[in-house]
A and B are shown apart, each in its own frame.
Chain A
Amino acid sequence: DVKVTQSSRYLVKRTGEKVFLECVQDMDHENMFWYRQDPGLGLRLIYFSYDVKMKEKGDIPEGYSVSREKKERFSLILESASTNQTSMYLCASSLGQGIIADTQYFGPGTRLTVL
């Protein structure tokens, strides 16, 4: 089974702090994604990556950056956290290999609260 793990289930940070959310997948997947989930707004894509050191902006990239130095790890960075970034953050991976819209496997999520 594919396993996607996220570094924290719950995180509380203060406004202005730099925040790192880590995601690791163990199935050698090419594609990795970061979403935020807010009630009534569904899942919104922040960034995605098709390969190591590659990144593409999603629908709401403002205020976020990402890093993919190794195939299995995809990090989401909040350079200066703000209260409107309080949300559930979900990481996902998919096999890729030319089929971009493939089945995604999700981690358990990180609930971030910015005070």
Chain B
Amino acid sequence: AQSVAQPEDQVNVAEGNPLTVKCTYSVSGNPYLFWYVQYPNRGLQFLLKYITGDNLVKGSYGFEAEFNKSQTSFHLKKPSALVSDSALYFCAVGNTNAGKSTFGDGTTLTVKP
């Protein structure tokens, strides 16, 4: 069975500071990893994904994530946080055999001015 852990329910950062939202996963075979974001009163939007290749993946709105196979992690990062980045972030994992992606419980990011 595949699973995702987002160990922090809430992350608070000051505007302009770097941010990290953590994600670890468990899956058989090669992982397909995703980050999605949900802004208040909006649907989920795709941010970025890792399928294969470079371990550092760049996505929308200046976000990036680093795939670390040995630590089974896929942490989301941004060098300089904006107040508008405040949202609910979901990590997801799947592979070609799983038939579906499994989502984490979500992490609420709050960026304060």
Q: Indicate the size class of the contact surface on chain B.
A: 20 to 34
Q: A58 on the interface (CB 8 Å rule)?
A: yes
Q: How many A-B residue pairs have CB under 8 A?
A: 60
Contacting residues of chain A (69-115) with chain B, CB-CB under 8 angstroms: 90, 92, 98-109
**How far apart are the CA atoms of A43 and B36 in the complex, in Å?**
11
Contacting residues of chain B (87-110) with chain A, CB-CB under 8 angstroms: 90, 93-96, 98-106
Decide: B100 and A101 in contact? CB cutoff 8 A: yes
Given A103-B49, A108-B43, CB of A42 within 8 Å of CB of B103: yes
Can you list 24 contacts pairing A with B, beta carbon distance less than 8 Å?
Answer: A33-B100, A35-B103, A42-B90, A42-B104, A43-B44, A43-B90, A44-B103, A45-B100, A48-B99, A90-B44, A92-B44, A101-B95, A101-B101, A103-B34, A104-B34, A104-B36, A104-B44, A104-B46, A104-B101, A105-B46, A106-B44, A106-B45, A107-B43, A109-B43
